[in-house]
Chains A and B, each alone.
Chain A
């Protein structure tokens, strides 16, 4: 017993300062690709190396539409390796309230040699940023607080994931991220839960289990899709064994992209959704 106490005392507090201090992000971390939309001459090489189809081109009547889908992106950085117009950033906090807001589409004129110029329409400013999530959070907050007070109980459902997202969700329970200090608990049954944290792609064999879990969760319930596969079915896409993303099966309130998302990214998304970060300002 003395050994246990002594080791704990020697170790001290290891919990991150977030959210009182900014989330620490390693300069080496690979996050969202940053695209020089105006200077982008040809999106095809990047689209060709993208393993998940997060970069897509569509050529139609002398014009080209290029879409970057952050819901599909696994932040591998292969596009940046082949295309100087793309740079990988360490920005990872991309949680968004709608699937659409994770897509950015630009329109270009299409040249005879297959290159694209000039930029006809830059992507609409994406609302995949923390502030817009807080707007949704504000709307939800009144409803949630009336029912749940300040605590939140989460049931995690792996509906087909590779277990990578689970590794990071586990991390939320570690002393470093310690999600319980916010009154957020992972619970064993959907009947105890206010929120389902779902990873995907939803497999055909898990579709019914996910629906039943959703039905067993009392209203008002929130659903968060975690990871590239949960948001968009990721590299697996829709195939004979999968039904696609989580929102193909149950309605989703929050999308947290990443492969897998960092624990702080998940935590940040949850707190903003709950309107819990505004209180601190």
Chain B
């Protein structure tokens, strides 16, 4: 590999790493300027990741497996390190022999990979060694011994009916300690998951989360669809992030195919991503208020959200922006009326959202409930690799829009709000500031909207290519990693929603708080269950 295969910022890191680990890296290649693959052995992983973390500020953003037995005779594990300052990804690939299907856990050193490692164990049948809590995670206790993401497992397999084996939670004992189970069917109109609170009086001593109730076999399903159909499936990974997920998927496929969407397409993608951010952030600001009984603010927020959803429909035919994404660009161009509607929306939202924020900042009851509630300290956030809104409220200064500019983000100016107290108020404030930044981005894009086509043909993607697609969704960073197969299909599509990374942080943030504050703490994270469970 030549140093010129990668971005100039990545070259010194590449040189240092190659020299330092001379001989242990079996091969390396850079299919894209910011995406470098290294092939090595399992015992090399922890040293490699630790070195990138300590010396170059790398963070492990995704760990996943790929059943490559058909082509190479082995399973592959992938460790994706993001080097934010150098704007690149180093991806380490290690083989796992089917004869000894096991791998070494990094969880003790990097708690951030806990769930991801257990998911690999469940879905691929690769046993974890050295994991502090190697219980099932993605498949519930009653599941038979099946490994759905192995190639010899058929997507349409009909498993015996649910037997209802009770999950054994960790016991929390002591005088006056009670367990409060909640879910999977919750009281509000929200997705299913199970929370088990252990409380002594009001304060929460321990919170155990049990997710994956809405596991739908999505990643396996991607392997059975022609690539263009995958765009529609990606829209259904997490409903409120339809456009972000679909765009991350398109990004991965375009990178695999070596196709760059035209400037106007990238600009329109940016418009849609920001509209998605706006409707969710504004709804969350309202929902946080309603969870502490300030319903008036919530009603104003719902009204504004509805206003945005109607503009979404006017622009793309669908209120959640579905049907808009496509490989190589976007499906619909905006005419003069539609562009004017975006401008009007931005002006109106600026005015109305300012009023809404004024209502909230004048309300001392609201401050009382939000400040100091659900604190996630920067240290814990860093250990758990918390990303997105929750990360930025706890001192994590990262945003793919700035650090890995995709779509049209290299053409606009914006700031990334970062706070360090890590409480509900900070997560509220991140959203508040990001709303104003979004409006500024919208205006800038509208001001320099390039002319020209809105899509380029992608054609059939050659087999056996790998590519990482990424988008900063409103919740945080979304990654789609694909491995292509013959016939314009995928042999693997790994989806990483920011929620998967952030759920364990909720368990930490709620400690010592009272159960009545749980709804507002939970809402301040507002994580996706479907995006986590897939």
Report whether chain A binds chain B.
yes
A residues lining the B interface (CB < 8 Å): 3-4, 7-8, 11, 14, 26, 28-30, 49, 51-52, 74-77, 88, 155-171, 173-176, 186, 188-190, 201, 203-209, 213, 229, 234-236, 238-242, 259-260, 262
Q: Is the CB of A163 within 8 A of B232?
A: no
Q: Is the CB of B191 within 8 A of A161?
A: yes
Q: In whole angstroms, what is the CA distance A77 to B217 when docked? A: 25
Q: Is the CB of A75 within 8 A of B318?
A: yes
Q: In whole angstroms, what is the CA distance A74 to B192 when docked? A: 23
Q: In whole angstroms, what is the CA distance A201 to B233 when docked? A: 13
Q: Is the CB of B192 within 8 A of A158?
A: yes
Cβ-neighbour of B530 out of A28, A161, A234 (below 8 A): A161
Asked if A240 meets B239 with Cβ closer than 8 Å, knowing A170-B189, A205-B212, A206-B192, the reply is no
Q: In whole angstroms, what is the CA distance A159 to B320 when docked? A: 20
Q: In whole angstroms, what is the CA distance A234 to B530 when docked? A: 15
Q: Is the CB of A260 within 8 A of B239?
A: yes
Q: Is the CB of B184 within 8 A of A209?
A: yes
Q: Is the CB of B233 within 8 A of A51?
A: yes
Q: Is the CB of B323 within 8 A of A186?
A: no
Asked if A76 meets B320 with Cβ closer than 8 Å, knowing A167-B239, A173-B302, A238-B156, the reply is no
Contacts of B157 in A (CB 8 A): 239-240
Chain A min CB distance to B203 (Å): 24
Asked if A259 meets B322 with Cβ closer than 8 Å, knowing A205-B215, A242-B217, the reply is yes
Q: In whole angstroms, what is the CA distance A27 to B155 when docked? A: 39
Q: Is the CB of B215 within 8 A of A209?
A: no
Chain A min CB distance to B125 (Å): 14
Asked if A30 meets B318 with Cβ closer than 8 Å, knowing A163-B238, A167-B240, A175-B303, the reply is yes
Within residues 224 to 269 of chain B, which ones have a CB less than 8 A from any CB in chain A? 225, 228-229, 232-233, 236-240, 242
Asked if A209 meets B238 with Cβ closer than 8 Å, knowing A30-B317, A51-B229, A236-B216, the reply is no
Chain A min CB distance to B205 (Å): 25
A-contacting 9-mer, from B55-63, B87-95, B306-314, B398-406 = B306-314
B190 touches A (CB below 8 Å): yes
Chain B min CB distance to A165 (Å): 7
Contacts of A161 in B (CB 8 A): 191, 214, 239, 530
Within residues 315 to 351 of chain B, which ones have a CB less than 8 A from any CB in chain A? 315-320, 322-323
Tally the A-B contacts, defined by beta carbons under 8 Å: 185
* 6 additional contacts (CB under 8 A) given A174-B305, A240-B159: A11-B300, A158-B191, A164-B239, A205-B162, A205-B215, A206-B184
Q: Is the CB of A174 within 8 A of B299?
A: yes
Contacts of A240 in B (CB 8 A): 146, 148, 153-159, 217, 220
Chain B min CB distance to A131 (Å): 26
Cβ-neighbour of B306 out of A155, A169, A176 (below 8 A): A176
Q: In whole angstroms, what is the CA distance A204 to B238 when docked? A: 18
Q: In whole angstroms, what is the CA distance A3 to B361 when docked? A: 11
Q: Is the CB of B314 within 8 A of A26?
A: yes
Asked if A74 meets B296 with Cβ closer than 8 Å, knowing A160-B214, A209-B185, the reply is no
Contacts of B191 in A (CB 8 A): 158, 161, 163, 166
Chain A min CB distance to B240 (Å): 6
Q: List 24 A-B contacts (CB under 8 A).
A: A3-B359, A3-B362, A8-B296, A26-B310, A28-B313, A30-B323, A74-B323, A158-B192, A161-B214, A161-B530, A162-B238, A163-B191, A166-B190, A167-B320, A171-B302, A173-B189, A176-B303, A203-B216, A204-B159, A206-B214, A229-B236, A241-B215, A242-B217, A260-B320
Closest B residue to A239 by beta carbon equals B217
Q: In whole angstroms, what is the CA distance A260 to B214 when docked? A: 17
Q: Number of B residues whose C-beta is below 8 Å from A?
A: 67
Closest B residue to A212 by beta carbon equals B185
Cβ-neighbour of B221 out of A206, A236, A262 (below 8 A): A236
Dominant secondary structure of chain A at its interface with chain B:
loop
Q: In whole angstroms, what is the CA distance A242 to B188 when docked? A: 23
Q: Is the CB of B238 within 8 A of A189?
A: no
Chain B min CB distance to A242 (Å): 6
Cβ-neighbour of A205 out of B155, B214, B359 (below 8 A): B214
Cβ-neighbour of A28 out of B188, B314, B528 (below 8 A): B314
Contacts of B153 in A (CB 8 A): 240
Q: In whole angstroms, what is the CA distance A106 to B191 when docked? A: 39
Q: Is the CB of A205 within 8 A of B213?
A: yes
Contacts of A52 in B (CB 8 A): 232
Q: In whole angstroms, what is the CA distance A51 to B317 when docked? A: 17
Q: Is the CB of A168 within 8 A of B146?
A: no
Q: Is the CB of A75 within 8 A of B214?
A: no
Asked if A235 meets B236 with Cβ closer than 8 Å, knowing A7-B359, A164-B242, A240-B153, the reply is yes
Cβ-neighbour of B215 out of A11, A190, A203, A234 (below 8 A): A203
B358 touches A (CB below 8 Å): yes
Asked if A163 meets B528 with Cβ closer than 8 Å, knowing A206-B213, A235-B232, A241-B216, the reply is yes
Q: Is the CB of A174 within 8 A of B214?
A: no
B71 touches A (CB below 8 Å): no
Chain B min CB distance to A159 (Å): 8
B447 touches A (CB below 8 Å): no
Q: In whole angstroms, what is the CA distance A34 to B127 when docked? A: 52
B161 touches A (CB below 8 Å): yes
Q: Is the CB of B300 within 8 A of A7?
A: yes
Q: In whole angstroms, what is the CA distance A166 to B236 when docked? A: 12
Q: In whole angstroms, what is the CA distance A119 to B242 when docked? A: 38
Contacts of B320 in A (CB 8 A): 164, 167, 260
Q: Is the CB of A234 within 8 A of B236?
A: yes
Closest B residue to A236 by beta carbon equals B216
Cβ-neighbour of A239 out of B187, B221, B236, B300 (below 8 A): B221
Q: Is the CB of B189 within 8 A of A162?
A: no
Chain B min CB distance to A174 (Å): 4
Q: Is the CB of A4 within 8 A of B359?
A: yes
Q: In whole angstroms, what is the CA distance A176 to B299 when docked? A: 9
Q: In whole angstroms, what is the CA distance A1 to B239 when docked? A: 36
Q: Is the CB of A209 within 8 A of B192?
A: yes
Q: In whole angstroms, what is the CA distance A105 to B188 when docked? A: 39
Q: Is the CB of B529 within 8 A of A163?
A: yes
Closest A residue to B355 by beta carbon equals A7
B218 touches A (CB below 8 Å): yes
Q: In whole angstroms, what is the CA distance A206 to B211 when docked? A: 11
Q: In whole angstroms, what is the CA distance A7 to B296 when docked? A: 10
Asked if A188 meets B323 with Cβ closer than 8 Å, knowing A4-B359, A164-B240, A205-B213, the reply is no
> In the complex, which of the residues A164, A201, A259 has the most CB atoms of chain B within 10 Å of its own CB atom?
A164
B140 touches A (CB below 8 Å): yes
Q: Is the CB of A164 within 8 A of B232?
A: no
Q: Is the CB of A162 within 8 A of B217?
A: no
Closest B residue to A164 by beta carbon equals B239
Q: Is the CB of B239 within 8 A of A158?
A: no
B23 touches A (CB below 8 Å): no
Contacts of B242 in A (CB 8 A): 164
